[in-house]
Structures are given as C-alpha cells and as structure tokens.
Amino acid sequence: MPEINVTPLGAGQDVGRSCILVSIGGKNIMLDCGMHMGYNDDRRFPDFSYITQNGRLTDFLDCVIISHFHLDHCGALPYMSEMVGYDGPIYMTHPTKAICPILLEDFRKITVDKKGETNFFTSQMIKDCMKKVVPLNLHQTVQVDDELEIKAYYAGHVLGAAMVHIKVGSESVVYTVSRNKHAATAWIDKCRPDILISESTYATTIRDSKRCRERDFLKKVHESIERGGKVLIPVFALGRAQELCILLETFWERMNLKAPIYFSTGLTEKANHYYKLFITWTNQKIRKTFVQRNMFEFKHIKAFDRSYADNPGPMLIGKFKRQCSVIMPGYCVQGTIGHKILNGQRKLEMEGRATLDVKLQVEYMSFSAHADAKGIMQLIRMAEPRNMLLVHGEAVKMEFLKGKIEQEFNCYMPANGETATITTNPSVPVDISLSLLKREMALGGSLPDPKKPRTMHGTLIMKENSLKLVSSEQALKELGLNEHQLRFTCRVQLQDPHSDPDTLHRIYTHLKSVLKGYTIQHLPDGTVMVESIVIKVSSSAEDSNAKVLLLSWSYQDEDLGSFLSTLLKKGLPSGLC
C-alpha cells in the first residue's frame, strides 16, 4: 500500500526545536529546523542521527522548508547545513530570508560572546547557510525536481510566515504553524491533503479579543497622560508600529486629546524601507491604510527629536519620572534590557558599570497574533484532510484535542523519533478507450461503483504524463506489433494395452468422471478436448503396450494443462470400460 511517513525529530509531543521529516512518494523533506530554547547542550538541536549516523544529509534530503523566522523553527539551520552538512535547497519566504540571519546572528552573539559557549555555529556559517536559501513567493508553484512540487501560502502569525503545500504525484501534505484569523483561507478550502500537519500548542488557548487588548492599551495610555506623565512605547515588530499609531491617532481625535505623540525617527526610515519591501506580506488593513497615507503623516504623531525629552507636560515618549510608563507591546528576546524589565528587574546594569533604577511603571501587553482552539478546528474543517497530525505540544496536553479531532478525522501524534505511517489511497486518473469500455459494459453485471471495484483486462499505456487504458489489440496496433499465441505441448507416457481409439475413449471417460464442470468433448477427429486442451493418443514406437499422449494447450489454460498432465502421468484406473 502506498504510504507517507512522518517522523518528528523535534516538537514530537514536545515544544521547541521543530523539525519534521516527511517521506512522500520517494522524496524526503525536512520541515523546519529549530532550536530548543530551554536547553544549553546538544538537546537543543533536533536529532539528525535519525537520518544518518555519519555523513552529510545532502544525499538523504530532497529539500528543507522553513515556515517562519522564530528560532524554535530555524535556530538550528546553520548547525544542520554547515556543521552536520547539507548542500541542497532550503526554501523559505522572502521576509523570512531577510529576518532569519538577523535573529540567528543575535542569538549567536548572546550564546557565544556573552555566555561563552563553544560548540556553536559562527557568523560565517550563518552567511554560508543563507546562500543555500531559495526564496519562495506566495502562491507560486516551485518544482523542486520532476516529481516534487511545493507552494507557499500566507499564514499570518509573524511577518513572512507561510503554510506549505507539498505534492508528489497525487499525494499531498500541508504543513502549518499557528494560523491566525487573517490568513488567506480560500485556497485551503477543501484542498483535502492526505495529511495536514499542524501545531497544537495554541489549541488549548481561548484568546481574549483584540478589542479588549486595545482597550487596555488605550486605558493605560490615557491614565498616564491624565496623571501628567509621559509614555514610551518601544516597538520592534514592523506591523505593530503602524497599527498602534493608527489606533492612537483615532483615539486622540475621539477624545479630543492634545498631548503630543512622538515617534523615534531612527526607526522611521528603516521601518518604511522594510514596509515597502514586504507590503504584500502584511494584512489587508495595514496595506489599505499604508496606501491611503504615508505611515508618518499623522495629525497628532510627529517625528521625535531628543531635545523634546525635556519639554514639560505630558507626552508620549520622553524622559522618565515616576508617573511615566513604558508599555511593551511585544516579546523581548532573552538578554535584552526589555526582557529584564519584563521580568521585574528594577535595577539595570549598563555598560561601564553604571546602574539605573527603573522608576517608571511597566506594562507588558501582548498583541501577537496566533491561532487558538477555535482557529485550529476551523482550519481542519476547511481543509478536510484525510489524516491529521499534531506536533509541538506536550502529550499530556494534547489528548483532549486528539479526541476532539478523532470525532471527525484520523489523528496522529508521534513522539520524537517515532514514525507515523499513514497509508494513502491515491487515485490515479486513467483514460479508457471507448471500445474497451463498450466491451466491458457488454459483459454485463452491475455498473462500476467505488464501493464495488471490478477487475478488467486491458493494456496501460503511459506516454509523457498521460495514462490510457486500451484493449490489447489496439495496443498492439499502436505499437505496430503482431499478436503471438503461445501453446504448450507435453508428452505423457502411458502403459495401456488397448488400441489407440480405445485408450482415447478410456481417457475421455476418466476425465469426465474427475473433471466435473468442465467442457470435455470426444471429437470425431480422434482427439479429446478439455476446454482448449487437445489430447491425442498414439502408440509408442519402442513398446507395443505403451501409449504416448500428446497434450497441448494455450497459455490461458496453463493451470488446467499442468493439472491434466500430472493426472494422466498417474495412469488410468483399472475399472474403466
């Protein structure tokens, strides 16, 4: 039976170091190559020894596909390609390709330079690894080779995140990490892959509405301003900056607020640049407003100059006193000041040994967009996969979700190193010649039915990409070949004193009693026929009491022919008349 094998090397019944091997139609694909952020030793890398104990991975993998730039999905990529060894193509979207090396380098710096670890990839390795990257455009089919094709779709989540559709022949797999509401869903509607691989991490979350998050954000901002304080909002995420600006601008208008809002200019140009580069990757809302107005042409939001910091009165962004606040709208990487402040640190050590006291109020607000329980079920029901496979979740916390999915679909949940073998039932469409179809229909019986398959005989012609079923005569004609008939002949020695005709008659009687249900004829030309098998009797030249039986049959009656020759070799029973 044809099958697809899926083996997680990381994120199987676990969270972190996402790395999933898929074997489909003879092709081996690695989905993601992440780092487990919770370990400091080799456990942070996926276990590549599963693929091969020694040697490079190039021979064993047809391609690697990276879904998005988070380190638990791409953090082990330079290690895999440069330290273990892989020279084949690595596919990822353009934004992922732009952002990955930045995060990898940051991470390398913190791990090697700050923490002093040694068995780690170098800056050069990151560069060499990125040279192997083949960028993907959305909705564009990429032929990895003659048989394997892949296509990327918008997944929402973070900038550049993609859902991937992998196809070999008529078998397909879709891989998705946390899809959010804004992901393009039309394409996935009833795409019916053989397997849908999805993360289960957020399947147990029920998200608070975006509206409430925005409400809290505006409430904090408003309270600070009312107290006469200043508010600083450090923003890294590209889409967030603009979204928050629009939100604040609209709020200011509605509430008739006068306090100035400043935006750091350093970020402006870089942000604008990246924006233009990746505009197709942002959601509809941002794209629409970006087109309508330049990002920084707001009424209440102005470019920031350091000298403003000392201005009296409330403002958004500036020098900090106790009534001031910092609102962090996103995740801060470990090792940064932001991360320390969010962990409650009130004293910061700066370079040059100076310490700063954190006196202002800190607010951490999460605006990150990822799917939740409802989102995952929606995705599964839309895609209608033949099988579902869950990764990136702890086994204990996935049982309920598995049970829920199993009410409608098959569901697998392999652990790291465990292979889930999924049998597929690929239907291969074949054209049938009209004459062959007519002949089959003339044989009678019920009409062809998917539940009651009917065996039929014909010749399959595979020409380029088309498959055709024709009758054997037509096939021979097309090929310009003659039809050959095969007949087998066999001689059997028999001890029998009777005359030739008598012996023949005795054979006829014997066969009639043994082979009930078969057509047995004693023909006037001196032969006995059993179906198409011809039996002749002649006297032996050497021995007068011996007879030589000549049996001949066409290849269709091979079985019966062999049976008859074995039977007759045993001789005739004595009681025959």
Partner 1 sequence: MEDAEFDDILDDWFIESLKTYKDLHVYQLEHPTQVIEWTSEKTVCVAGYSLSKNEILELRLPLKLFADENKGLCAERDFKVAHGGFTDGPVRRLRHIPGTRCVVTNDGLSSDLQVWDLGGDDSDVIRRTGSIAGRRNVSERGSRIAARLSSPPQILHGAQSSDIQLTELTSGRTLYKLETDSADPLSSLQFVTDAVFLAGCSNGSVCVADTRTSAAPQLSPPPASSGDSVLWWADASVGPHPSSCRVIRLSSSGQAVVSDLRKLGGGAVCQAQLDVQTRCCNLDHVRVSWAPMLDDCISVSGFGGVVQIYTTCGWSMELQERQPLFQHRGHVVSSQQTDDSVPVFTTAHIWHPERPRTLLSAASDGSVHVWDWVDPEQSAAGSPIPRT
Q: What secondary structure does DSSP assign to 477-517, as a single string?
A: HHHT------EEEEEEEEE--S-HHHHHHHHHHHHHHHSTT
Minimum Å gap between C-beta 249 and partner 1 is: 8
Closest by CA to 52, choosing from 12, 21, 74, is 21
**Of the residues 82, 171, 199, 363, which is catalytic?**
199
Token pair for residue 138?
């959305």
208: contact with partner 1 by CB under 8 A: yes
Q: How far apart are CA 167 and CA 176, in angstroms?
A: 15
Q: How far apart are CA 305 and CA 453, in angstroms?
A: 78
Q: How far apart are CA 570 and CA 561, in angstroms?
A: 15
What is the length of the chain? Answer: 577
Among 187, 236, 274, 364, binds partner 1 (CB under 8 A): 364
C-beta separation of 121 from 78 below 8 A: yes
CB nearer to partner 1: give 67 or 361: 361
Please name the residues in contact with 143: beta carbons below 8 A apart, sequence gap of 6 or more: 149
Among 67, 361, 424, 565, binds partner 1 (CB under 8 A): 361
Binding segment for partner 1 (CB under 8 A), chosen from 52-60, 119-127, 243-251, 418-426, is 243-251
Q: How far apart are CA 158 and CA 185, in angstroms?
A: 16
Instruction: Collapse the DSSP code of 461 into the 3-class scheme (helix H, G, I; strand E, B; otherwise coil) and give the result.
Output: strand
C-beta separation of 100 from 66 below 8 A: yes
CB nearer to partner 1: give 270 or 374: 374
Among 56, 127, 213, 227, binds partner 1 (CB under 8 A): 213
Q: How far apart are CA 222 and CA 229, in angstroms?
A: 10
518: contact with partner 1 by CB under 8 A: no
569: contact with partner 1 by CB under 8 A: no
219: contact with partner 1 by CB under 8 A: yes
428: contact with partner 1 by CB under 8 A: no
Minimum Å gap between C-beta 136 and partner 1 is: 27
Is 199 catalytic? The answer is yes
CB nearer to partner 1: give 255 or 479: 255
| 270-309 positions binding partner 1, by CB under 8 A | 284-285
Q: Using only C-alpha atoms, what is the Rg of the chain?
A: 38
Among 114, 131, 190, 254, binds partner 1 (CB under 8 A): 254
CB nearer to partner 1: give 400 or 555: 400
The H or E element spanning position 303 is strand 301-304
CB nearer to partner 1: give 362 or 515: 362
Among 1, 186, 396, 447, binds partner 1 (CB under 8 A): 396
Among 114, 131, 190, 211, binds partner 1 (CB under 8 A): 211
C-beta separation of 535 from 545 below 8 A: no
CB nearer to partner 1: give 212 or 460: 212
Q: Which amino acids are annotated catalytic?
A: 199
- Residues near partner 1 (CB under 8 A): 181, 203-216, 218-219, 222, 246-247, 250-251, 254-255, 284-285, 342-344, 361-366, 372-374, 377, 396-401, 403-404, 407
